[in-house]
Amino acid sequence: MDIYSNILYVKEDRVSLSQLAHRAVKIDKYRPETCCIVGNYYSLKAQHEKAVQYFQRALKLDRSYLSAWTLMGHEYVEMKNTAAAIEAYRRAVDINERDYRAWYGLGQ
């Protein structure tokens, strides 16, 4: 479901992403996937600090959750926090060295 939320984010479909986030929270708000969906929603609304909070929640639930590290890196880039973005992307690469999204983030 978090991959679907990424698609909705890229399409800038705020309404569908909001509906998905509400449904995911209703089903199980303590899943890392749910936290990433909600984080994507706040990112789309340009509420980057709040998005980071949700990605951090996802990582409290599962420290090896690759999407949360990568998405958090993207948020830190938006917030102009280069050091934190690099750290998040490096954590993602440590989990999966073949993840192109994290390598792309490091190359920015």
Q: What does the pLDDT look like over 13-33, one tens digit per residue?
A: 999 999 999 999 999 999 999
Task: Cite the beta strand spans of the chain per DSSP E.
Answer: none
Instruction: Answer whether 17's CB lies under 8 Å from 9's CB.
Output: yes
- 10 contacts: CB under 8 Å, gap ≥ 6: none
Give the pTM: 0.94
Neighbour count for residue 83 (Cβ, 10 Å):
8
Please name the residue that has the structure tokens 């998005």: 51
Instruction: Answer whether 47's CB lies under 8 Å from 55's CB.
Output: no
Q: What does the pLDDT read at residue 2?
A: 79
